[in-house]
Amino acid sequence: MANSIPIRTILLMVAFLVTPLDAQRHLPLTNIFESPGLLLLDTRVESPAIYSGGRVASLPRSGDKVELQIFAPRQAGRQIFEYSLHFRNATTGQNAPFTVVSVKDWEDYEQVAAGRGSPAFSASRVAFAPLPRTGHICTVVLEPVGSTVSPDPLDVRLTITTVSTPPRRVNRIVSRQQLTWL
């Protein structure tokens, strides 16, 4: 019987370590509120990032890159924890024929793309960080996959998780915007 206690303890520890953690692992006992948000796309990339109103881009050819600045002005000044982007063909709903090549956050920190061939990107921060007054989330560089790109609009979905205190409140803001081609 004495031998079964350490083995049982080890088995419980292994079971705990391989069990997927809840999405709220850093914010236990906190409700997450989901709400719509405002997403602004800007094809006129400048530094420092300022929204210039450009939502139309030249249709890229093989080897071209498309740069976008992503803004969430209603979230300016809020404490951000994580954000994700997903690019889809607005007409078919399928993944867009693009690869996320580069992402630089509002602090000009280069993020690493999730993998070659992925039209999605996600980043989590170790600590909460305030979004700047402009609402600039990131600057994204996309590269077309294949030799031709459909002239269908690109549907861009942004999800941001922000935290406010007091009271402790977690908001997941989901925004969509379309990028059209010239």
CA dist 115 and 112 (Å) reads 8
> Percentage of the chain surpassing pLDDT 90?
34
**Which token pair is 79?**
């404490």
- Whether residue 62 has pLDDT greater than 60: yes
Residue 163 burial class via C-beta count within 10 angstroms: exposed 0-12, middle 13-18, buried 19 and up: middle
According to the model, what pLDDT value does residue 18 have? Answer: 45
- Whether residue 20 has pLDDT greater than 60: no
pTM to 2 decimals? Answer: 0.76
Write the secondary structure of the chain as one string of H (helix), E (strand) and C (coil). Answer: CCCHHHHHHHHHHHHHHHCCCCCCCCCCCCCEEEEECCCEEECCCCCCCCCCCCCEECCCCCCCCEEEEEECHHHCCCEEEEEEEEEEECCCCCECCEEEEEEEECCCCEECCCCCCCCEEEEEEEEEEECCCCCEEEEEEEEECCCCCCCCCEEEEEEEEEEECCCCEEEEEEEEEEEEEC
According to the model, what pLDDT value does residue 8 have? Answer: 64
122 versus 11: the higher-pLDDT residue is: 122
- Residues 152-167: what's their mean pLDDT? 86
Q: Where are the domains of the chain?
A: 24-181
- Residues 159-180: what's their mean pLDDT? 85
Query: What confidence category does residue 141 fall into, taking pLDDT thresholds of 50, 70 and 90?
Result: very high
Distances (CA, A) of 161 to 37, 49, 70, 85, 164: 11, 21, 15, 12, 10
**Which token pair is 69?**
């600045």
Architecture of the domain delimited by 24-181: Sandwich (2.60)
Most confident option among 38-42, 117-121, 145-149: 38-42
According to the model, what pLDDT value does residue 153 have? Answer: 93
- Residues 33-50: what's their mean pLDDT? 90
**Which token pair is 48?**
């420092």
**What is the per-residue pLDDT across 64-100, written as a single tens digit (0 to 9) for each?**
999 999 999 999 998 888 899 999 999 999 888 898 8
CB 142 within 8 A of CB 41: no
